[in-house]
Amino acid sequence: MPDFPWAPGSATGIGSLPGTDVAEAQRIVFGELPDLPHLAELPARGPGADIIGRSAGFLVDLPVQLYAGRWQVAPRAGRDMRVTADLLERDLDQLTDQGDRYAGPLKVQSAGPWTLAASIDRPIGGRLLRDAGAVRDLTDSLAEGLRRHVDEVRKRLPRAEILLQLDEPSLPAVLAGRVPTESGLGAYRAVPGPDAATALRTIVEAVGVPVVAHCCAPAVPLQVFRDARAAAVALDLSLLKDLDPLGEALEAGLGLFAGAAPTVPTGRITGQQVAERVSTLWKRLAFAPARLPQQVVITPACGLAGATPDYARAVLTACREAARRLSEV
């Protein structure tokens, strides 16, 4: 079994949290997730803090702007990009202030190239996904921007070991040819799995740190993520239908960020409940119990931007307690 870039018995968040106070959000992350904290994301702050705008801010020489409520490639960087950059700078400042003594794995996040291509419009209309050349340019731009982002975080927290999470909620639709055109009357062509993996691998090779491929949609494309050489996959356990592909991926050494804590309250949430959910899955996969705390990181099912502050904190607490329970078995 490979050495994983996190300590046994770790828990982390997917990224997003409720509210607009980044200082408080980052304090919660370091307090509740001491073994694998992450850079907090607060979409409630508005455009530029949302997953697409924030991630588009990493693009190099490919500015975007808001037009009619959608992100669109722009002729030059303008106010929207300045707002995006300012929000990220504030977040990094809080990460630096609160994590100045932190040593260990630390996760940052960005949307991946396929979700961006399915979400950003070309200047002349239609998504970037429509144009294979535009997707290649987007991928190369994102790869360079994320390399710079990782380097910036490393400079700010020199004792941290950076992990990059690529969020690809749109990838299953991209692969299946289910991304609707702007008219809503058709869909863009399906992208072959090998092509999807090649773009993701471009990012993996550029950043030079372990990459966690995250998809909390049904039909997680595990083979694409494996072919892209991701170190781990993050998924919502409640959406798993067929365990065989996951078992094969884990057997091959892929790490698992197990989304086991619901993002919507279903009653009081406890570490015991979350731990039992993960251990039940592990037993069904018939892996040795000793592998679980090494190979698996416990997470919420997806982002927590839509949760109440109290519930979001309770979810992170439950994930941490579940990881501790599972490491003591």
In this structure, is residue 149 part of a structural domain? yes
Q: How far is CA 137 from the centre of its chain?
A: 21
pLDDT in tens, 156-166: 999 999 999 99
Q: What is the pLDDT of residues 62-107, one digit of tens each?
A: 999 999 889 999 999 999 999 999 999 999 999 999 999 999 999 9
pLDDT at 268: 87
- What is the percent of the chain with per-residue pLDDT over 90, rounded to a whole number? 93
Is pLDDT of 317 > 80? yes
Residue 280 lies in a domain: no
Average pLDDT estimate for 223-251: 96
| Six-digit token string for 35 | 């073994």
Q: Is the pLDDT of residue 54 over 70?
A: yes
> Do the domain assignments include residue 200?
yes
| 72 located within any domain | yes
Mean pLDDT score across all residues of the chain: 96
DSSP 149-205: HHHHHHHHSTTEEEEEEEE-TTHHHHHHT--B-TTSS-BPPPPPHHHHHHHHHHHHH
pLDDT for residue 114: 98
The answer to whether residue 119 is domain-embedded is: yes
Non-local (6+) Cβ contacts of 178 within 8 A are 172, 187
Q: What's the confidence (pLDDT) of residue 182?
A: 84
Query: Which ranges constitute the DSSP H helices of the chain?
Result: 22-32, 51-56, 79-98, 113-117, 132-156, 171-176, 193-207, 222-227, 243-251, 271-285, 292-295, 309-327
Taking 90 as the threshold, does the pLDDT of residue 248 lie above it? yes
In a domain, 170, yes or no: yes
Determine the Cα–Cα distance for residues 13 and 15; give it in Å rounded to an integer: 5
Q: CA 215 to CA 114: how far, in whole Å?
A: 12
Query: Is residue 133 a part of any domain in this protein?
Result: yes
Q: Are 87 and 45 in contact (CB under 8 A)?
A: yes
Residue 256 — φ and ψ, nearest 5°?
Answer: -125, 120
109/90 Cα distance (integer angstroms): 16
Domain that holds residue 72: 46-230
Instruction: Provide the pLDDT for residue 1.
Output: 63
pLDDT at residue 208 is higher than 90: yes
Query: What's the average model confidence in pLDDT over 120-143?
Result: 96
pLDDT the model gives residue 137: 98
67: in domain: yes
Average pLDDT over residues 14-36: 97
Q: How many domains does the chain have?
A: 1
